[in-house]
Structure 1
Amino acid sequence: MSGFIEQFYYGNIEPQARGISTNKTMAKELGVLNDAEEYLTSKLSGEEKKKFLNFVNATSVVNGETALDSFIVGFRLGAAFTLDTFVSNDTPFTNLLKEDI
């Protein structure tokens, strides 16, 4: 079996392939958003419809960029924990019972 990084590289690990079936609150709110967008899109016309759709699209872009930023920051935090755990032996006190590992 290949390592994690190789599997990730070849697309065999998809961290975003997730559903919301067990999160009833999120599923409900997504339904509310979808219904509202469909309703407003059908009721608006001309410049108002264009402005609303621009708002919806801009919101999607901002949410996507925010999710990307959170992913990057979280990944870096996890990497920092790993680095500190496995590479650094720095501690505030000296171990008097045995040599540092």
Structure 2
Amino acid sequence: MKNIITKLYYGNIDPQARGFKKDSYLQKQMSILSKSEAVLTDKLDGEVKKAFLSFVNASNVILGESELDSFIVGFRLGARFIYDTFVDSTVPYKDFLREVNNES
């Protein structure tokens, strides 16, 4: 089995290759969103349509950047947990059992 870095390098890991579960709440909301956008796009014209499409595009950019930020923050938090678990050995109390075992 290849390690995770090799898998990532060759594109064998795609955490975003996911979809909504059939008939889930989110799938229904996505359907409402898509249908509403289509209706509004068809009904609007001129400057109002242009403004609406600019709004939709800007919202998508902001959402994408927000998702990226959340991913980075979450990844860094996970890395800190790993560091604290395997590298950092500072604790608020003295480990008397370790001292007893080391003395024998």
Over aligned residues, Cα RMSD in angstroms? 1.4
Cross-structure match for 1:27: 27
Matched, 1:9 2:9: yes
Cross-structure match for 1:70: 70
Give distance in 1, aligned partners of 2:8 and 2:55. Answer: 34
Cross-structure match for 1:81: 81
3-state SS of the aligned residue for 1:55? helix
What is the percent sequence identity of the aligned residues? 52
Q: Deviations over 1:26-63 (max 9, x none)?
A: 00110110011000000000000000000000000000
Structure 2: stretches of 5+ with no match in the other structure: none
- Shift of residue 23, structure 1, vs aligned partner: 6.7
Higher relative contact order (CA closer than 8 Å, sequence separation 6+): 1
Give distance in 2, aligned partners of 1:66 and 1:41. Answer: 25
Change (3 A) 1:80 1:27: same
Change (3 A) 1:41 1:84: same
AA at the equivalent of 1:21: K
Cross-structure match for 1:55: 55
The TM-score with structure 1 as length reference comes to 0.94
Count of residue pairs the alignment pairs up: 100
Structure having the higher helix fraction is 2
Structure 1: stretches of 5+ with no match in the other structure: none
Bigger shift: 5-14 or 91-100? 91-100
